[in-house]
Homo-oligomer: A and B are copies of this chain.
């Protein structure tokens, strides 16, 4: 008996669905009564015993019903779960109410996701590495500082103060601006590599060191943010689920959300192994060890040209996978339209 036969599958399905619903271990009698199999509880018991031996379900203790094991959940997610296909409209109205800044859009998205699912949600800004430079400007601030402003595709603006040895006259600044813009415009951040830089420096002549400083500073500014830009919402939803809310676990999880740094692991793992775009981590499968008692569902979204970001939901293993995945899928579509079509007004 190495394969699951049809009847076992039906029973496993029933057990898991029931458990997702109630959160209580489910017994043979329940399945016998509330399924269309028309089998006695005794028969179910035998089958359950087999399912347990095969590792799909387990008993919290001898005289309790069964709950799904990680393997069981995995089977459910891979084979049993039905995909909903909701209309994509619903979310829209919530989403963007004339927010022009990307941060706000993302923060808003996280909130919607958290509210819709009642789990904790996270979302990262798309990596800037492949984003293209659209505009670049230096301005003399005072005697020893230059302000550099960079605008990327999607109107993402970064700025940085650059300390300088001495003030530059306005003509030099103007020249530098023209030089930088003509050479870098349209390049992606990751394309600005050593050879580009040295070529630029050459062209800059006596100001080559300034150019170097500027590029360094920009790289730094972009890098700084890259680490941080994870938006979260509904972290406190975790407290709603008793299996996660006992003081120790809750505290660890909530810290992970507060620090955000720990979520990076999740993001990277998701970006690395892109399957159909949605990843489900059940318990120990998660790359973040604090989350071994949770399930994590993540998806990548793409903004064309390979710029991608990550969205994710963290909740109890007993999670409404169907709803979560539906939500993520919907949001994914939304994100595409939001960023691709430049917004008017």
Residues of A within 8 A of B (CB): 100-101, 104, 134-135, 137, 139, 141, 145, 147, 149, 151, 155, 157, 159-161, 163, 224, 233-236, 239-240, 245, 247, 250-251, 254-255, 258, 344-345
Contacts and interface: CB of A to CB of B under 8 A. Distances in A.
B233 A254 contact: no
As for how many copies of this chain the complex holds, the number is 2
Nearest to A254: B236
A36 to B, nearest CB: 38
A163 B344 CA distance: 8
Contacts of A141: 134-135, 151, 155
Given A239-B250, A251-B236, A151 B157 contact: no
Nearest to A159: B157
A201 to B, nearest CB: 23
A240 B250 CA distance: 11
17 contacts: A100-B160, A100-B161, A104-B224, A134-B141, A147-B151, A149-B149, A149-B159, A155-B161, A159-B159, A163-B344, A236-B251, A236-B258, A239-B247, A239-B254, A240-B251, A245-B247, A254-B254
A268 to B, nearest CB: 22
Contacts of A149: 139, 147, 149, 159
Contacts of A240: 251
A235 B100 CA distance: 30
A242 to B, nearest CB: 9
